[in-house]
Structure formats: structure tokens, C-alpha cells
Structure 1
């Protein structure tokens, strides 16, 4: 089969294989690297969400120390911003588990603000009237809100951990794909090189055998000359044809 191709084409095939290898490597790298970048972005976003919930709970603590409209609005702004960011984040998620976690986070954030709204105005009025201690009703709502906040924080930590796992898997997949590509490329190059080398060596051996027989004929060591049995369309086959025609 290889004898049907010229030596130049045989050598050119190495360049073609190399280019194909580069193209495949580039495709694999872009594919898995996009997954890695997405996972890194997801991890960073969820990390920011964890910080936001902590800032929101700090804002609640500041409100409890100084109940007024300004500190109450800060709490609402923190959690409204968190809900908006998580909603946008959810639209880009691919894993069903993460989508459900994002929906849970939004629901819990709404519950947190609902509990806050139940006592915020009352606590502002109480504080304005000189009542420093929270009433039993206010304390009960604060306790419920704290429980919701704790669950909310755990959900955010969980989705952040999932993002880290996704990033590690994508990175491992990229490394594995590149290693497999390198191994397969080496196998293909070695196999193809061996075939070409074997083909050329076989042809040279035929030439050697034919020329030795020809010289024996000239030296009258043998009475006849066997034509070179080299078939194909490459340069060696063409040379063999010319030699056979002139024997």
C-alpha cells in the first residue's frame, strides 16, 4: 500500500499527522479548558455568595444593636442583592443538584427577610420608645431567622463545594485527555514510522539482491538475471522499472 505513494508524500504524511495532532490537542484543550473556566467562575461566585450572607447577617446584628430605618434597609438591600445574584447564577448552572440548591437558597433568603420584616418595624418602634430589650415575640422571630440563616449558609457552602469538585473533575479530565492524546500520538507516529522504514528497507534489500545478481551475471557467475520485483508507484519502483528495461 505504501509503495503506491512517492517518498515525498510518505514524508509529507508526518507533517499532516503532526498538524492533525495539534488540531485535536487544541480542540480538546479548548473544550475541557472552557469547563475548567466555568467551574472556576462558579466557585468564585459561590464564594462571594458565602461572603454576602455573612455580611447580611452582620447587617442584622448591627440592626439589633441600633434598630432604625437605615440599618433595616441595609439588611434588606444585602439579601435582595443576594437573591438577584443567585437567580442570575442559577440560569447558568448545568447540574440539577446545583440548580435545586440555588432555588433553595433563594427560598431561604426570602424566608429570612420575611422573618426580619415581622419584627423589624416593631423593634424600631420599641427602641425609639426607649425599650432596649427585645420582646418575647421579637426574640422568637430572631431565633427563627437565625435558624434559617444557618441553613442558608450551609446551602451556600454546599454549592461552593460542588463548584470545587466540578473544577477538579474538569481539570483532571483535561489532564487525562492530553495524556491519552500524547500516548496515542506516540503509538501512531512509531507505528507509521516503522511501516515506512520497513517498506524502504525491504525495497533496498530487493535492490541489493538484484544488483548482486546482476554483478554475478557480468562476472559470469550465473547464467541469467532475475528482474527486480519491486512494484508500486514510488521512486524506487520507477528506478526498478528502468533497470529491468535495461538489463
Structure 2
């Protein structure tokens, strides 16, 4: 068929074939490059999301460490460190809510934000109860404890000087109970132990009983006034300890049911987001790499085909044209030989 075609048709057919192959190569290259570019864009977006999730996870860890440090040794520095980490997390979450659009991950980012708000509310209450405890210690326990000690010492010295042995003995026991009560109060404030609090109550009950016994043995009006003042101060003191104990129970409940539960939950959610992004990256990366390899292979094959065809046509067409010219020339020679015969 190719032999029967005219030179003009052969040239046109060859040109069209090469053009078609070049167009196919161009179309495939453009399509493949777009596919590869989309893959790289997705991978880059995943990389940015990974950075965001890692920053969230890191700052969540810093915030939790600050809370743990505060629970072990309350200080303003730990509160400031928590606030700093909390603000950082919220700023990152605001960015993540715009950048991370995959539904499952986006919902987890929102859940992290909600849990973080609850976590902060719980920690704020813990701070309040701790500061209330310090205030009670400073304004009630230390102040009234000193007053009780002074009054008891005064009564003991007076009864001793008056050689009122029964009153001195009862007052001595009262002083002993009070000192033990203060000792276990300090232990309770330090350890927040239920046993220490029970011992404080027990010693103050013994102290109150001793003072009531002492009150029944004395007739001096000034001393009775002192005892009444003492009983009032003890009531204020024990009420302060009770308030600290109640706040301690509330604080412990918040720590156990909120902080210790929500903290790990936030950490798990941020870890899940990070792992989800990495899993998708692990799929996109090899896929883009494979696509690029396929693009390279197919473009190479098509280029070789075009080059081979071009070389073939470059050799075949001139030869074919030369053969036709030779045939034409031989025909002319034979024709002129015939005429000159």
C-alpha cells in the first residue's frame, strides 16, 4: 500500500503520523505532569498538617507537664507555663481548623479544642482550691493557731503559779492535744491524707473535752472569759481545716475525673490525627513516585518510537524517492532510445 502511494501522499502521511505521535506525547506529558503536581500538592498539604498535629501534640504535652508540676508543687511559674502552652495550642488549632479539611481529622481537631476547654476549666478550679487553702492557712490557721497557743500557755502558767494541780494537768493535756492537732494539720495540708485529717479532728475533740473539764473546775471570771474565747477560736480553726478538707475532696475529684481522664484523651486524639496524616502520606508518597516512574518510562518509549519512526522515514523516503526517480529516468532513456531507433 505504501509503495503504491504518490510521493506527496507519502510525505503527508509521514508528517501526520509524526505529528499525531508528538501530540499524543504532549497530551500524555501534560496529563501526567498535572497528576504528579496534584500528588505533590497533596503530599505538601499532608506535610503541613503533620507539622500542625505535631505542634499540637507537643504543646499538649507541655501543658500536661505544667499541670502535673503544679499538683506536685504549686507555683505561679507552673500556672504561667500552662497558660503559655494553652494559648499556643489554641492558636495552632485555629490554623488547623482551616488547613485540615479531611472530615475525620477535622472532627478530631474540634474535639481536641472542646476537651482542652474542659481541661482548662478543671485546672482553673484546682488553682482556686489551692489558693483558697493557702489563704485559709495564712489568715485563719496560722493567726488563730498562735492565739490559741498564747491563751493556753497563759492559763497553764496561771494555774501552775496558783498551784491548781488539776487545772494545770488538764491544761497540759489540752496543750499537748493542740500541738498534736497543729502538727497533723500541717501534715494534712502537705499530704492531703484522710488519716491526717481524722487525727486533727480527734485531737481537737480531745482538746475541746479538756477545755470543758477545765471550765467546770475554775471560778475565776477572767479565766472563764479566756476559755470561752479559746473555744471560739478552736471552732474557727476547725472550721478552717474542714473547709480545706472539703476543697481537697473537690480538687481530688476534678483531678481524678477530669484532668487525669481528659489529659490522656487529648494526647490520644492529637496522636491519632498525626498517625492518620502519616498513613495518608505513606500512600501518597509511593503513588507519586510510581506515577513519576511510569511517566518517565512511557515518555521514553513514545520518544523512542517517534525517533525510530523519524529515522525510518528519513532513510526510507529518500530511498523510495530515489528508486522512483531511477525508474522514471530509465523509462525516459528507454523512451528516447525508442524514438531514435
TM-score bracket, shorter-length normalisation: 0.5 to 0.7
More helix by share: 2
Q: State how far apart, in whole Å, the 1-side matches of 2:7 and 2:328 are.
A: 18
Which residue among 124, 127, 136 is the counterpart of 2:256? 136
Cα distance in 1 between the residues matched to 2:294 and 2:276? 27
Structure 1 residue ranges without an equivalent (≥5): 88-101, 218-224, 226-243
* Structure 1 match to 2:89: 75
Q: How much does 1:154 deviate? A: 0.8
Cα distance in 1 between the residues matched to 2:127 and 2:89? 17
Could you say which residue in structure 2 is the equivalent of 1:98? Answer: none
- 2:6 maps to 4
Deviation, structure 1 residue 54: 1.2
Aligned-residue offset at 1:56:
1.0
Contact 1:69 1:124 (C-alpha < 8 Å) held by counterparts: no
Counterpart in the other structure of 2:41: 41
Q: Distance in 2 between matches of 1:56 and 1:124?
A: 21
CA 1:4 to 1:14, structure 2 compared with 1: closer, same or farther past 3 Å? closer
**Change in 2 beyond 3 A, CA 1:169/1:151:** same
Q: Deviations over 1:9-42 (max 9, x none)?
A: 7557666655555444332222111111111121
Aligned position for 1:170:
291
The number of equivalent residue pairs is 204
The two structures have a TM-score, normalised by structure 2, of 0.50
1:217-237 CA distance string (max 9 Å, x none): 5xxxxxxx4xxxxxxxxxxxx
Which residue in 1 is equivalent to 2:324? 203
CA distance in 2: counterparts of 1:159 and 1:127, whole angstroms: 41
Alpha-carbon deviations, 1:69-119, whole Å to 9, x = none?
A: 5543432332232132111xxxxxxxxxxxxxx322122223323332332
Distance 1:168 1:25 in 2: 20
TM-score (ref. length: structure 1): 0.66
The corresponding residue for 1:221 is none
Look at both structures and tell me which one has the larger radius of gyration over its CA atoms.
2
* Deviates most, 64-73 or 139-148: 64-73
Match of 1:148 in 2: 269
Matches within 5 A, 1:5-154: 5-6=7-8, 20-64=20-64, 65=66, 66-67=78-79, 71-87=85-101, 102-130=102-130, 135-137=255-257, 138-154=259-275
Q: Which moved more, 1:32-41 or 1:71-80?
A: 71-80
Q: Using the alignment, how far apart are the partners of 2:54 and 2:90 within structure 1? A: 14
After superposing the two structures, state which structure 1 stretch, 201-210 or 39-48, moved more.
Answer: 201-210
Query: Relative to structure 1, is the Cα distance of residues 187 and 214 closer, same or farther in structure 2, using a 3 angstrom cutoff?
Result: same
**1:161 and 2:267 aligned:** no
Structure-2 change in CA distance of 1:15 and 1:4 (3 Å): closer
For each residue in 1:41-85, what CA deviation from the matched residue of structure 2 results, as whole angstroms up to 9, or x when unmatched? Answer: 211111111111111122223333145555434323322321321
Instruction: Provide the rounded CA distance (Å) in 1 between the counterparts of 2:98 and 2:328.
Output: 80
**Structure 2, unaligned runs of 5 or more:** 67-77, 132-250
Preserved CA contact (<8 Å) 2:57 2:271: no
Separation of aligned partners in 2, 1:22 and 1:199: 24
